[in-house]
Chains A and B, each alone.
Chain A
Amino acid sequence: MIYLDNSATTKPYKEVLDTFVTVSEKYFANPSSLHSKGGEAEKLLGQARKSIAQLLEVASSEVVFNSGGTEGNNIAIKGIAFQHQNRGKHLITSSVEHASSHESFQYLESQGFEITYLPVDQDGLISLEDLERSIRPDTILVSLIHVNNETGTIQPIQEIGKILKEHPKIFFHVDNVQGVGKVDLPLKEWGIDLCTISAHKIHGLKGNGILFVKNGVSISSLFTGGEQELKKRAGTENVAGIVAMAKALRLILQESKEKKENLFEIKQFLIEELRSIDGIDINTSMKYSAPHIINFSVKGIKPEVLIHSLDKRDVYVSTRSACSSKQGGASRILLEMGLGENRASTAIRLSTSYGNSLKEAEKAIKVIKEELLNIKKVMR
């Protein structure tokens, strides 16, 4: 199997699964229960929180557990908007956000908020001047995706953080679901107030996520009904998943230290090979992108057809974002980048992680070339 759909989900580390099983067996009690079994579970939960806080170089009280990226983005965006709407109802984001952010903003728009959607250039980047120009006295939030899930484009978060330092009343949320373990994001140094992370993109399990909420930042909670997670997210904690996530985070950060160069190497290889194939356009920016995402369009071929034929050869890739891949049609992100309807509706995404090798990449290219020939034969 050659699995190149890591931006949709990663395969859990073996160690992560072991942790999940052990914790589910031994520490199954509700951490809010008063008895000693509850106490043990609570202690373990506290240790996991502390470990994650240390890995992210933040305080334990700034780590809010939830169910994953979609929830994290929803809590952050709606939570800030509703909590601080008395101060202003203007929010800034980009036009290339993940659906969970994008649709949160659309919802807020229907609730009387005013949203500025910053446009992007051909590389998928927003412009800092645009951002500065959009800031108004009633702006309360800037929310941006760090690494774009379809194209891998990295937004200039550090520079944006600097700009926002001049506007201390504006909160800064970063969706870092695709970036963790692949592209550095020092939360404290870069002036970030809220940051979304998801476990299953870092070889953890689905259904777990982290929202970093800087101490002193108040948000209105979407779920109420208990005092869990500092009253920011009620609901019994998924202890086993959370502890497994702590382990996944530790392991991927370690891998990232040792193997990030490998990812760059594989990406370089894939892009060069793909570029040489007739009819393929590379949609991923060479200069401003993460080491693990390669997006390309194949002229005249429906992406689904290619995906299924690769599937038969045990090579797994996807069209753009898994979350919206079933909708068909053109990619909103690629359209926003000005790549045109044709390219936007024929895009394929390869996404790697530390388990992939150059050898796999070579094999994948070979298979892609062969299948493209086959498809072209049939289609003619």
Chain B
Amino acid sequence: MIYDHLVVRYGELSLKGKNRRHFESQLFETVKRKMRPFQGLNMSKHFDRIVIELNGQSYEPIVKSLQDIFGIHSISLAVRAENDLEAIQKAALIALNEAIEGKKTFKVTGKRSLKSFPVNSMQLNQEVGGYLLRNTEGLTVDVHNPDVNVKVEVKDTGTYISSKSFEGAGGLPIGVGGKAMLMLSGGIDSPVAGYLTMKRGVRIEGVHFHSPPFTSERAKQKVIDLTQELTRYSGGKIKLHVVPFTKIQQTIKDKIPSSYSMTIMRRVMLRITERLAENNHAMAIANGENLGQVASQTMHSMYAINEVTNMPILRPVITMDKLEIMNISHRIGTYDISIRPYEDCCTIFLPSAPKTKPKREKAIRFEKNIENLEELIEEAVNDVETLILEEGKSTDETFDDLL
């Protein structure tokens, strides 16, 4: 492998005007953290890119890891050459040969940001392209749809030549968009919602409602494992708040007509999540709600439930089809965890016929049946168990000596 550099290009950052510097340093921090397990890399931050010197490391696992980071548009394998036309031509030939196997057409995209370099971009295309044509056989130039695009970028730090690129995750660097509390049930949708929320640069903390003994340790573990998986995209850590919910669920069962129990339960969950958001300085709530998927997710339902909070509720998967959500879930590694078959608090007390068109007024009236609701909420919030999950750190150290 002749590639000795990775060029990491930013996504939408170039549009961000004054915030740009902040965004860039956030992204650089995340990249540095993510690269910690790899030895011997050199990283440097530039105006529109991060350059990683591989120092002999193989690039595949590094690229794979970089593809988890939001705010990155693309990752290219690159050779660095001195700013000298002959050196550039030679390096370009090596890069092309690496990438061309079995393909037929190429083009050269030259870019000269170092204006003192005597060859301009147009000339660069011709000089390098011509050299490549002379020194290969059976290849032709196709400027519209080339099989391989040899990018040549002349910078003050040297010329970077790349012919192989990988798509980045897109989005904005984590940490530039504030923080949201993510309601995590253990299903397929909510982790995807968390992923998409983070994609816009938002940090998340998880909130899970746990009702032992009705819901099991395995259901809780499932949510812990989901959160652990999401740390890959979070820039390091995610806090997970586990709310003791048994007492409230039992009270709802006692005091609320079963057709409205689900509506009231969701209202209470929102109130608790809002309180946790305030306590943890978050400004929004995110969840995996999807229009029309289940009874709690009709528009009528959302209208009746949403009333209890003024906080913005982010619903990244609101309009998606189940298949679209599942595709993302496969891609981000949460699907296999989500399908573990344990009951969670949303399914265990589910009445046989929940109202799909609950009325707001009725919900308010029924809710009054629980006189000590504030107290119950207070208690649940106070007794929350908070776990901190960190990327790359297993929560199961107890088994290490067995494995």
Contact = CB atoms under 8 A, between A and B. Distances in A.
Interface of A: 19, 22-23, 34, 36, 39, 42-44, 47-48, 51, 60-61, 243, 246-247, 250
A42 B399 contact: no
B402 A247 contact: yes
Contacts of B221: 39, 43
Contact of B216 (A22, A34, A48): A34
Contacts of B399: 43-44, 47
A47 B403 contact: yes
B371 interface: no
B216 A44 contact: no
Contacts, number: 32
Given A47-B396, A60-B336, A61-B336, A39 B403 contact: no
Interface string B144-167: 000000000000000000000000
A39 B402 contact: no
A42 B396 CA distance: 13
23 contacts: A19-B402, A19-B403, A34-B216, A39-B216, A39-B217, A39-B218, A42-B218, A43-B218, A43-B396, A43-B399, A44-B399, A47-B394, A47-B396, A47-B399, A47-B403, A48-B403, A51-B403, A60-B336, A61-B336, A243-B402, A246-B403, A247-B402, A247-B403
> What are the 8 tightest A-B residue pairs by CB atom distance, in nearest-first order?
A39-B218, A51-B403, A47-B399, A19-B402, A61-B336, A246-B403, A243-B402, A47-B396
A47 B228 CA distance: 14
Interface string B381-401: 000000000000010100100
A166 to B, nearest CB: 10
B206 to A, nearest CB: 19
Nearest to A47: B399
Nearest to B335: A61
Contacts of B396: 43, 47
A39 B224 CA distance: 14
Contacts of A61: 336
Contact of B403 (A36, A42, A60, A250): A250
Given A39-B218, A60-B336, 6 more contacts: A19-B402, A36-B217, A39-B217, A43-B221, A44-B402, A47-B403
Interface string B212-241: 000011100100000000000000000000
Contacts of B218: 39, 42-43
A219 B168 CA distance: 33
Interface centre among B218, B221, B336 (most CB of A within 10 A): B218
A61 B338 CA distance: 13
Contacts of B217: 36, 39
A39 B219 CA distance: 10
A85 B247 CA distance: 56
A90 to B, nearest CB: 26
Interface of B: 216-218, 221, 336, 394, 396, 399, 402-403
Nearest to A230: B336
A39 B218 CA distance: 6
**Secondary structure call for the A interface:** helix
A243 B401 CA distance: 11
A34 B343 CA distance: 11
Contacts of B403: 19, 47-48, 51, 243, 246-247, 250
Contacts of B402: 19, 22-23, 44, 243, 247
Nearest to A44: B399
Nearest to B396: A47
A49 to B, nearest CB: 10
Contacts of B216: 34, 36, 39
B63 to A, nearest CB: 14
A22 B403 CA distance: 11
A122 B80 CA distance: 47
Nearest to B61: A57
A34 B218 CA distance: 9
Contacts of A23: 402
A23 B396 CA distance: 15
Nearest to B330: A215
B391 to A, nearest CB: 15
A23 B398 CA distance: 12
Contacts of A19: 402-403
Contacts of B394: 47
Contacts of A250: 403
Nearest to B221: A43
A250 B394 CA distance: 17
A51 B394 CA distance: 11
A48 B399 CA distance: 9
Contacts of A36: 216-217
A243 B221 CA distance: 20
A86 to B, nearest CB: 25
Contacts of A43: 218, 221, 396, 399
A43 B402 CA distance: 13
A142 to B, nearest CB: 21
Contacts of A47: 394, 396, 399, 403
Contacts of A247: 402-403
A39 B217 CA distance: 8
B207 to A, nearest CB: 23
Nearest to A165: B102
Contacts of A39: 216-218, 221
A283 to B, nearest CB: 37
A109 to B, nearest CB: 36
Contacts of A42: 218
A243 B217 CA distance: 22
B341 to A, nearest CB: 9
Contacts of A243: 402-403
A43 B394 CA distance: 12
B59 to A, nearest CB: 13
A250 B401 CA distance: 12
A148 to B, nearest CB: 30
B220 to A, nearest CB: 10
B61 to A, nearest CB: 9
Contacts of A60: 336
Nearest to B333: A59
Most buried by B among A42, A47, A60, A246: A47
B335 to A, nearest CB: 9
Nearest to A247: B403
Nearest to B336: A61
